Structure 1
C-alpha cells in the first residue's frame, strides 16, 4: 500500500484532473482552444468569456500547484457543486445529506457522536441541525440521562426526504467513480482517511 501512495499515484490523479478540466473548458467555450501556460497555471473564465489576466490570460498557482490542501478544497467544491446540480432545493447541502444519513443509520445518537462522525465542530453542526429541525426533517430531544445532550432522530418526513436524496447520491457516486476509476478508489479513500485521522487539530 505504501508504494501505491507515492508521488506517481498523486501525479496520475492530477493528470487525470487536468485532462478533465481541459475537456470541460473546451465544452464550455464551444470547443475553442484555451491557452495553458504550464503545469503551475490554470485558465479561468467569467460568464463564458475568458477573463483578462496577466501572462496571456493565465494565472500562476505558485506553490499551490503542489499543495494538497488547495487541490482537496477544489475537489470538495467540485463534488459539492455536482451534488447540488442533482438536488432541486437550494436550502440543502451535501453536508445536510451526510447528517441525515448518519442520523438515519443511528437513531437516537447525540450531537457529540454526530460531530465526530461528520468531522464538523459545534459552530457549523448546530446551525445545520437547527435548519433541518425547522424543515421538519429531524427531532432533537434532551437526553434523560444527560440533560445537556440532545438525541437526534429522523421524522417520517425526514425519512422520505432522505430516500429521495439517496437516489441523487447514487448518481453523484457514479460520477465520482468514473473520474477516479475502480482501481484508484480504495486507495484514494484510504489516503483521505489518513488525512482526516492524522492531521493535528485545534482541540
Structure 2
C-alpha cells in the first residue's frame, strides 16, 4: 500500500504544529474558526497552534454539532479581530490609558461615569442600539469606495451623517485600528451618549 504524502498519522501533533507555527496569527485564527474552536479571537499564537493541532488530531470540528458551532463562530465574530482588547500605539491618549478596558458584553463599569474603552463589536453595537444609535459616516469624507469619518448617529441635529451597515462600519473600524472610548453613565447616574474614536497610531484620528 503506498503512503500518502504529508502527515497522515492521527497521533503526531508535532508535525502539524510545525506547519501551523509557520502561519500568521490571522491565518491561524481563520483556521481555528473553520475548526469551530471557541474563543479563537482572544487566543495567542501558541494557544492557537495547540488548539488547531488538537482539533485536526481529533478529526476536526467541522462535522460537530452545526448549531453549537454556528453559535461559537458568532461569538468569535462578535468580539472582533482583537477580542475586544484595546489597541495601543505611539499616539495613544491619556484618556485611553486611564479607561477601563471592556472585552465582553458581560463586563460592567467599575463606577458611574467611568471612562471605558473597547474594540469588541457586540459591546459597541449594544451600546449604540440601547441609545437608538445607528452606524454612520460623515457625508463628503469618503475616499472612493471607502467610508469616511465614522460616527454613531443618534438621530439628533447632525444632518451630515449617512447611515451605513454595521458590517461596513466595523470593517472600517478594524482596518483603521480604532478604539471606541465611551461612557455608560454620567457621574450622576443618567445614561450617557458620550463616545469618541481614537487611532493609537496617529493623533488626527
Q: TM-score, normalised by structure 2?
A: 0.28
Structure with the higher fraction of residues in helix conformation: 1
